Amino acid sequence: MSINLKTVFPVACFLAWLFFVVSCEEPAEPIDPPVDVIPDTTIIIGSGDTITVPIDTIIASFSFTNNNCTAICSLSFTNASYNATSYLWDFGDPILGEPSTSTAANPSHSYKTSGTFLVVLKATRGTQSSTYTQMVTITRPNLPYTIGTAKSEYGNGVVQTTDGGYMVVGSRQVGNGNLNVYLFKTDASRNVLWESNFGGSANDRGYAIEATPDGDFIIAGYTESTGAGLKDIYLIRANAAGGTKWRTTIGGAGTDEGLAVALSNDGGFVVLGSTQDDVNNTNKDVVLAKTDAYGNLLWEKRFDPGGPKEAYCIQATPDGGYLIGGFNSSFPTNLPPFEGVSYLVKTDGDGNILWENDDIPNLFHIKSIGNTADGGFILAGLRNKYTDLAHIILAKINADGTLEWSKSDYTSGALYDEVNRIRQTSDGGYILCGAADASPYQTPARKDILVIKTDGAGNEIWAKRFRDGAEYGAGYDIRETADGGYIVAGSLLVELVEFVSSDFDVYLLKLDANGNAE
């Protein structure tokens, strides 16, 4: 048999080439057995960001509404956690006696005070857990007619100035948490023009202010920062720009407080206060002290040393003397009904007692005295038994202390009223301020600032109450203004954390002749 080489040779060459190519390729990699792949999932966390995580991961997350709301306010929290079965919230608001945690899935929490709080959510499933945090901001209330900061300020006395503005004295909390005497000036619209603090590293308070004929102002209070004792009476003479002309202290080794001040006919000052000889002396004495125009002490008188009497108010009288009002707690037992009597003393210009009157029916504490146009006096105080509730009583006396009339039929609070200042008005009537319970048996107590206008016989014309959304208010001084209205200085409790801290503001309230806020 013959072979056709022309046919065989090309086939052989092709087979040889194919063998060469196949034999030169790298051997294939071995194939691993198949494995389970954990899938991913995409979620949105509480901040609004989108993240991708393994599907079996625990993620804690939440969002909330009403951020930057004004205290007191409630925030609702929406749980956006992934793969969790239980939750523990910490709202960063540790108020004594109130819960600041929750195990609810979507809780709400009421924030009582302003500030920035760290909210923490711990989400758990079995032994696995995840934590997520966000900051919450609560805004401090901004109430009408208030002047103050996140620390406390108190308004105790007010004088209208010749330019139509107001000079206000009180106390202000400073950096170390203690109080300084606080003096500030406003324009007629109650915009603060300047502020002054007087005091040191301890507590110092201002209780009363009067304008002097030459345009200065005399302030009475107490100081713990300087002086001879635990507390001393503090007298400050300030000029119209808030600068200090002089400061002086009066007192011994114990506790002395200046509560009221009056101008004397010779250009000096008379300050009324209380004194205790030492820290162990439980009985207070009434003290009356006279200085010259430069703060030099001229004399000091104590009334009934060791006796259970207190004085709160003083009024310079047309004859150059002084009328002092307070409380005589000489009752037979220490059990109810706590029957006490008013304490009313008239002195001459040297502090010598001319007469006393402890027999004004139903008058308990005398808290304020005002001169009347007929040469007599108007007294404002409280009824004489706690069992009758503490309601306001007004009494009119003549120049020698004889009672002309008394009235106690006034708009009152749910339980207890408070009166702090009374003055005769240009129409022959009276204007007074204090406080009244907003509701009975509530803790902490809720009080309104109370302002009452009467005619010349003590009959109520109108009564108004003010609180402007605060929990507590009290009026401490009131004066008729040049336009026939009234200016009230007091304090409002802007924020309260029970048993922890309080935040008061000065309350400067302008009323028209009918008691409407302006």
Write down all domains in the chain, each with its CATH number in brackets.
40-138 (2.60.40.10), 146-511 (2.120.10.30)
503 CB-contact burial (10 Å; exposed 0-12 / middle 13-18 / buried 19+)? buried
Name the residue with tokens 């013959």: 2
Cβ(399)–Cβ(376) under 8 Å?
yes
Question: What per-residue confidence (pLDDT) applies to 497?
Answer: 63
Instruction: Centre a 10 Å sphere on the Cβ of residue 478 and count the other Cβ atoms it contains.
Output: 25
| Alpha carbons 395 and 380: distance in angstroms, whole number | 7
Tell me the three state secondary structure of residue 387.
Answer: helix
Tell me the three state secondary structure of residue 451.
Answer: strand
The verdict on pTM exceeding 0.85 is: no
Q: How many helices (H) and strands (E) does the chain have?
A: 1, 37
Question: What per-residue confidence (pLDDT) applies to 500?
Answer: 58
Question: What per-residue confidence (pLDDT) applies to 177?
Answer: 84
pLDDT, tens digit only, all 518 positions of the chain: 444 444 444 444 444 444 444 444 455 455 444 444 445 667 666 666 777 767 778 999 999 988 889 888 899 999 999 999 999 999 998 776 678 999 999 999 988 888 899 999 999 999 999 999 999 999 988 888 999 988 899 999 999 999 999 999 999 999 888 999 999 999 999 999 999 999 999 999 999 999 999 999 999 999 999 988 889 999 999 999 999 999 999 998 888 999 999 999 999 999 999 887 655 556 678 999 999 999 999 999 988 755 667 889 999 999 999 999 998 776 544 444 445 678 899 999 999 999 998 878 888 889 999 999 999 999 999 875 544 566 899 999 999 999 999 998 787 777 778 899 999 999 999 999 999 988 776 666 788 999 999 999 999 999 999 988 787 899 999 999 999 999 999 999 988 766 556 889 999 999 999 999 99
Question: What per-residue confidence (pLDDT) applies to 340?
Answer: 61
| Alpha carbons 504 and 496: distance in angstroms, whole number | 9
Structure tokens at 28: 């294939």
Cβ(362)–Cβ(354) under 8 Å?
no
Question: What per-residue confidence (pLDDT) applies to 444?
Answer: 62
Residue 35: partners with Cβ closer than 8 Å, 6 or more residues away: none
Q: Which of 445, 492, 496 is nearest to 468 (CA)?
A: 492
Q: Which of 346, 370, 347, 360 is nearest to 456 (CA)?
A: 370
